[in-house]
Chain A
């Protein structure tokens, strides 16, 4: 298996632009997570899905952020409009199951810089 795939790996955009991050989870995994990592706040869970359904989006910072999972093999995280404070590394992770110590498998991340 190729692992969790994220694209793009790097994104530089200007304030106000729309940004779309993409993720392909590991085949067979029924949970998908979006995290954001910054020096100041560490690794934060933004939202997670179970069987393509959003379960908990309490970590989504603002209405400018939205996430979708149209099918079991694809998810997007969209920021519209983007702001400089959104600059961070965004990780997608997937797992088979949730509670009980299930391992989460992380993608390589998308490094976003909003100018």
Chain B
């Protein structure tokens, strides 16, 4: 089964609002990555957070990691229509393989 479970499956917000997506996983991890996928395209890496980090920022992105709860969240602040995409968390197994969640589909309405 997939390591990462994402919540919600779909999210629709207005431009300017914040979007929060959550990811839960089952086993201990080395790090967790977030990827974005625009419709009809491949995945693009957004941000990495290591298991010894609790929070990380990159532009309008903020990622948190709670290893005690085995969960992570991705916050996109001041969303734009161009942020419309699917967002996936990926956990790195002890063999180095990435295991992707099912993804959250975000729609930002202009």
> Residues of A with Cβ closer than 8 Å to B?
4, 42-43, 45, 48, 56, 91, 93, 98-101, 103-109
- B92→A101 contact, CB < 8 A: yes
* Residue from B31, B42, B100, B101 within 8 A of A108 (CB atoms): B42
Q: Is B48 engaged at the interface, CB distance under 8 Å to the other chain?
A: yes
Q: Is B30 engaged at the interface, CB distance under 8 Å to the other chain?
A: yes
Which of the four size classes fits the interface of chain B?
20 to 34
* Residue from B30, B40, B100, B102 within 8 A of A100 (CB atoms): B30
> Residues of B with Cβ closer than 8 Å to A?
2, 30-31, 33, 40-45, 48, 50, 88, 92, 95-103
- A42→B96 contact, CB < 8 A: no
- B42→A45 contact, CB < 8 A: no
Given A91-B43, A108-B41: A103 touches B48 (CB 8 Å cut-off): yes
Given the complex of chains A and B, what is the CA–CA distance between A93 and B30 in angstroms? 20
- B97→A101 contact, CB < 8 A: no
Contacts of A48 in B (CB 8 A): 97
Residue of B with least CB distance to A103:
B45
- 21 residue pairs A–B, Cβ–Cβ below 8 Å: A42-B100, A42-B103, A43-B43, A43-B88, A56-B95, A98-B97, A99-B92, A99-B95, A100-B30, A100-B31, A100-B96, A101-B30, A101-B31, A101-B33, A101-B92, A106-B42, A106-B44, A107-B42, A108-B40, A108-B41, A109-B40
Contacts of B41 in A (CB 8 A): 108-109
Contacts of A104 in B (CB 8 A): 43, 45, 98
